[in-house]
């Protein structure tokens, strides 16, 4: 098309994946929990590594919650390198990335037996570039606020 190489997505051949998922929660003190999760993956199809699949992901989180009072959470998430096809059809390496996420939930009032909490979250605090596929980065920093009724 006018000398521009466009890549069409299609179903791939059967794939083989070997991997491991781990999750660990360690209570450090009353209401304080350390969490560690991780995934390592080796995925291929027809002898070639699958595209857009990071080699590993890991997350370390610290959660501090007082029942009926507050819940604060900080996460560091690391996404390992991946591969994708460049527009010219060559294999491109996607750089690893680290993002920091923060969350808070604080009760503000009760309507009878119904608790109402205010929430706030910042995803990707440092606005890191997280690139799961070439040319399509995940959103940068995002800030959310809300109200939860019940729960």
| Domain residue spans of the chain | 19-149
Q: Is the pLDDT confidence value at 132 over 80? A: no
pLDDT, tens digit, for every residue of 25-73?
999 999 999 999 999 988 777 777 778 888 899 999 999 999 878 999 9
pTM across the whole model:
0.79
Q: Which of 54, 57, 50 is nearest to 85 (CA)?
A: 50
Mean pLDDT over 74-94 rounds to 89
pLDDT, tens digit, for every residue of 94-130?
899 999 999 999 999 988 889 899 999 999 999 998 8
Could you tell me the two tokens for 117? 């909490």
């Amino acid at each position: 098309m006018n000398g521009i190489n466009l890549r069409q997505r299609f179903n791939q051949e059967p794939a083989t994946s070997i991997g491991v998922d781990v999750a660990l929660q360690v209570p450090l003190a009353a209401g304080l929990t350390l969490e560690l999760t991780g995934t390592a993956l080796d995925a291929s199809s027809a002898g070639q590594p699958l595209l857009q699949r990071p080699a590993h992901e890991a997350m370390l989180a610290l959660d501090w919650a007082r029942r009926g009072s507050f819940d604060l959470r900080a996460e560091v998430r690391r996404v390992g390198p991946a591969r994708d096809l460049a527009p010219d059809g060559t294999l491109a390496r996607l750089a690893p990335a680290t993002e920091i996420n923060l969350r808070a939930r604080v009760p503000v009032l009760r309507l009878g037996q119904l608790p109402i909490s205010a929430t706030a979250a910042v995803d990707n605090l440092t606005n890191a570039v997280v690139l799961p596929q070439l040319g399509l980065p995940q959103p940068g920093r995002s800030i959310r606020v809300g109200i939860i009724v019940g729960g």
